[in-house]
């Protein structure tokens, strides 16, 4: 017998009709989405689209209109309990340069009221167990971000908010951080990833949420997102024919050579095209 709608698992994160303004400037407009346990949502959009503001609303550190629930806890009505269920990694973690990794995590564990026994597993998760006695000032950018994740998972929060965590990292560190996100997802964490990191997006995100001008311009899978561009661009398999022969056929159809060029449409191009479509629809 099929399960009734009421039998569906409760979303780990539910955002309903989220609104936020700064004075007369509306930053978020009726943003609605939810996230299932053990899923990764990539939160995309240009600077000023409202990504960081949305994360701050989920954290409950700024006021907002609408409703947000984290693991069933209302951010408005029971913010303290809701925040216990969230780990947050900012773009630039504020960690004391002179502290060791161990000392920094001990301080954060005590601040959270989390047991210090979780520090070693957290360091092992982010592959920093051997650096536990290293000073933070000696760590690379990638190591600092991984240490920030170790701090975020102390106390075992089911939801992680990552705000542009790879923005200042090199290519190798970005790829390493991506693998860490996948490990966290495999452990059942629900992850909201605000990012400009488009490489390997299809491997990383279960869903993509694009904010544009404070609104949800797109909410779907990476396959759905890729499909939004297919009506305007075609890939032609030459199947042994030379490009010049194909160009000649196209010219006879009225398509001259100046309009023929190889195109590899990446995720960034697709996201930009989606935002333009949203503008055109308004």
SS3 100: strand
The stretch 187-211 carries a mean pLDDT of: 87
232: in domain:
no
4: in domain:
no
Strand order in the sheet with 25-35: 25-35, 13-22, 65-70, 73-74
Same domain, 120 and 248: no
For residue 2, what pLDDT is reported? 46
Percentage of residues in the chain having pLDDT higher than 70: 82
1: in domain:
no
Task: Please state the φ and ψ torsions of residue 253, each to the nearest 5 degrees.
Answer: -90, 5
212: in domain:
yes
Same domain, 36 and 108: no
Give strand pairing partners of 163: 194
How many domains, the chain? Answer: 3
Higher per-residue pLDDT: 245 or 262: 245
Tokens representing residue 43 in the block: 């939160």
* pLDDT exceeds cutoff 50 at 213: yes
Same domain, 32 and 84: yes
180: in domain:
yes
Q: pTM for the complete prediction?
A: 0.79
For residue 237, what pLDDT is reported? 61
The stretch 57-84 carries a mean pLDDT of: 96
Of the given ranges (62-76, 103-117, 235-249, 260-274), which has the lowest mean pLDDT?
260-274
């Amino acid at each position: 017998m099929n399960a009734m709608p009421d039998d569906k698992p409760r979303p780990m994160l539910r955002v309903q009709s989220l609104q936020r303004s700064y004075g007369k400037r509306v930053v978020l407009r009726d943003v609605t989405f939810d996230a299932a346990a053990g899923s990764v949502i990539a939160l995309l959009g240009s600077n000023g689209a409202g990504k960081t503001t949305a994360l701050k609303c989920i954290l409950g550190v700024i006021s907002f209109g609408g409703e947000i629930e984290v693991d069933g806890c209302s951010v408005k009505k029971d913010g303290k309990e809701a925040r216990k269920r969230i780990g947050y990694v900012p773009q630039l973690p504020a960690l004391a340069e002179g502290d060791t990794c161990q000392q920094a995590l001990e301080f954060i564990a005590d601040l959270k009221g989390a047991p210090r026994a979780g520090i070693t597993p957290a360091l092992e998760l982010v592959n920093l167990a051997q650096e536990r006695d290293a000073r933070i000032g000696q760590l690379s950018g990638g190591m600092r971000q991984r240490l920030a994740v170790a701090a975020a998972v102390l106390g075992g929060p089911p939801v992680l908010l990552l705000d542009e965590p790879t923005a200042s990292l090199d290519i190798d560190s970005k790829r390493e951080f991506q693998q860490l996100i996948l490990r966290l997802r495999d452990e059942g964490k629900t992850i909201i990833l605000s990012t400009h990191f488009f490489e390997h997006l299809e491997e990383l995100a279960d869903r993509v949420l694009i904010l544009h001008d404070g609104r949800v311009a797109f909410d779907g899978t990476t396959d759905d997102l890729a499909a939004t561009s297919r009506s305007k661009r075609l890939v032609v398999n030459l199947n042994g024919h030379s490009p010049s022969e194909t160009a000649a056929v196209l010219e006879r159809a009225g398509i001259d050579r100046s309009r023929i060029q190889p195109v590899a449409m990446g995720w960034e191009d697709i996201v930009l095209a989606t935002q333009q479509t949203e503008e055109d629809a308004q």
